[in-house]
Amino acid sequence: MSSTSRLTSVEQRRARLAGRHHLSGDAADPVEATRSVVVLHATDPATVYLSVLARCADLTLADVSRTLYDDRALVRMMAMRRTLFVAPVELAPVVHHAASLGVAATMRKTLLKQLGTLPTDPELTDDPAELAAWLEDVEKGVEKAVLTLGIASGAQIGAAEPRLRTAILPTTDKKYDVRRTVTTQVLALMGAEGRLVRREPLGAWTSRQHTWESGAAWWPDGVPDLPLEQARADLVEAYLRAFGPVTETDVAWWTGWPLGVTRKAVVAAGAIDVDGLLVHPDDTDPVDVPEPTAALLPALDPTPMGWKQRDWFLPADPAPLYDPYGNVGPTLWWAGEVVGGWAVRKDGTVATRVLVDRGAEAARALEAAARRLQPRMEGAAVTPSFPTPLEKELRIV
């Protein structure tokens, strides 16, 4: 077998995944753990913490919080596929220009359309130019309020800038069609534009409600500028180094870009085609296969969510591990392969189930990994936003 063929074999891809994503728990700190997968999924705040704990065997929840909020070495960003991520701060300009600004443009267009076509309280003009000017003035008010307040909740910002309480009214009797203020949309939009940054949660580390801080506290001169095409190439390069070999479909899915944009960025990143898979030009040598290790990765972890085409590391029947929309639940890993799932029950205990038998050594290692994780969560009952069949079943005592 040639070296290039070995490079794209299932064994080689799993070896790269396990080693580069620190599934043995050997990452030095939360920043190294995050860099290993480019960015961490942050739709569920708990995912950020559990993804780091899985890759850093000796760290605590407090260590993760300190890196996020005291050291400011990691930053929350709305980016690829309009998903919330945590990125290393040095990569933030790349993510910002390659993905976040495009997402922000779509968010602004959507919000202005809603304000101009749906009933509001108080009633707003339907003139597009006047609406755009109104929204920009509200955003200036938000920026002023946050600079005065420092780190503040959405409610606190809304009290200081009352126009955030403007409500979009329901137009049907559907349960989901309810009165809602524009607070969340405006703050999220400003976050995507780098003018605000999500900070500590309101409550425990699992809370989905966050405080906000001015982007100027992170980037006094604004997010560093970067040409769009360069940012896209840099993002693809980072992805290739962490996840390669990959397919063109994987790149397009992970970035959320149209195929034409993806192909141009892949070329700019210098990707090389090896047996139909893409790798970084400096990454064409096979790697050593490490000793097999066990890992418990949380729901929406960036490793199982890193590829669109996942058959090479999933069980023959992965349905119990994913929800109907393709969101992955908590997974058990052995030697770079998903072999089962897990859940956290109300009492904070970890329940596991192996779906693929890889022998007694794997079973013992997975049980030991679950025992080590349980006290590190400090009694929290973690429930994913997108529960999967197996996770729901295991959560029931």
Residue extents of the structural domains in the chain: 3-90+243-279, 91-217, 294-395
Residue 174: CB atoms within 10 A of its CB come to 8
Average pLDDT for 202-221: 94
Judge whether 262 and 132 are in contact, CB under 8 Å: no
First-residue to last-residue Cα distance in the chain:
49
pLDDT of residue 2: 46
pLDDT of residue 1: 42
What are the two backbone dihedrals, phi and then psi, of residue 386, each rounded to the nearest 5 degrees?
A: -120, 80
Residue 128: CB atoms within 10 A of its CB come to 12
pLDDT of residue 6: 78
pLDDT of residue 175: 86
Looking at this protein, which amino acid is placed at residue 208?
A: R
Q: How confident is the model at residue 5 (pLDDT cuts 50, 70, 90)?
A: low
pLDDT in tens, 43-70: 999 999 999 999 999 999 999 999 999 9
d(CA 295, CA 49): 14
Residue 155: CB atoms within 10 A of its CB come to 13
Mean of per-residue pLDDT scores for the chain: 95
Asked if pLDDT for residue 108 goes beyond 80, the answer is yes
d(CA 346, CA 146): 37
Average pLDDT for 277-303: 95
Asked if pLDDT for residue 319 goes beyond 60, the answer is yes
Q: How confident is the model at residue 84 (pLDDT cuts 50, 70, 90)?
A: very high
pLDDT of residue 62: 97
Average pLDDT for 143-150: 96
d(CA 303, CA 24): 13
pTM of the model: 0.95
d(CA 321, CA 319): 5
d(CA 13, CA 6): 9
Percent of the residues in the chain that have a pLDDT greater than 90, as a whole number: 95
**Closest C-alpha among 327, 245, 313 to residue 81:** 327
- Biggest CA-to-CA distance, the chain: 70
What are the two backbone dihedrals, phi and then psi, of residue 356, each rounded to the nearest 5 degrees?
A: -125, 115
Average pLDDT for 129-147: 97
